[in-house]
Homo-oligomer: A and B are copies of this chain.
Amino acid sequence: MAQTNLERQVETRLREHEIRLTEGRRTLIQALGKADGPKSAADLHSRLGDQVPLSSIYRSLSVFEDAGVVSPHYSTKGVTRYELAEWLTGHHHHLVCVNCGVVEDIEIDDRLETQLEAIVEEIGRDVSFAPVDHALEIDGNCRQCQ
C-alpha cells in the first residue's frame, strides 16, 4: 500500500518534470522505499543484482536528485548515499556508525523536533542566517559494530 502510494507520488513528480519512469527506475524507487537509511549506488547494486546495471543506478539517482525525489547524504569519504526526499518520507535525522559508515534514519517525536527547531531558529538569528533545512547527526557504533 504505502509502497504503491510511494510509486504514485514519484510518478506524479516525474511527470511534472517530464522525466520518464522506466522499469529500472521503478525498481530503484522500490528498493529505496524499503531501505532503512541512505544507500550508496554500490549498496543498491549489490541488493538488486543484475536487475539494474550500476551505470543506470548512478544515472537514475542523479536524475531523481534533480527532480527532488531523492536527497544525497554525505558521511563517508568518496561515497554518496541517497534516500527518498523528506516530502515522501517525513523529516528525520541520522545515526552514523563511526566504525563501518552505515547510516540509519531516525524519526524523533514532535516534542524533541520542536525543541530542535527552536534551537536552529535561535542560532539562525544569532548569525543572521535564514535556515532552510537542518540535520542532526548522531555518531556512535551501530548494532553490528558494537
Contacts and interface: CB of A to CB of B under 8 A. Distances in A.
**Interface size class for chain A?**
35 or more
A12 interface: no
Nearest to A116: B119
Interface in A123-146: 123-124, 126-127, 129-141
A34 interface: no
Contact of A134 (B72, B112, B134, B136): B136
Given A119-B115, A122-B112, A129 B95 contact: yes
B106 A127 contact: yes
Interface stretch (A24-32, A48-56, A76-84): A76-84
Contacts of A129: 95, 138, 140
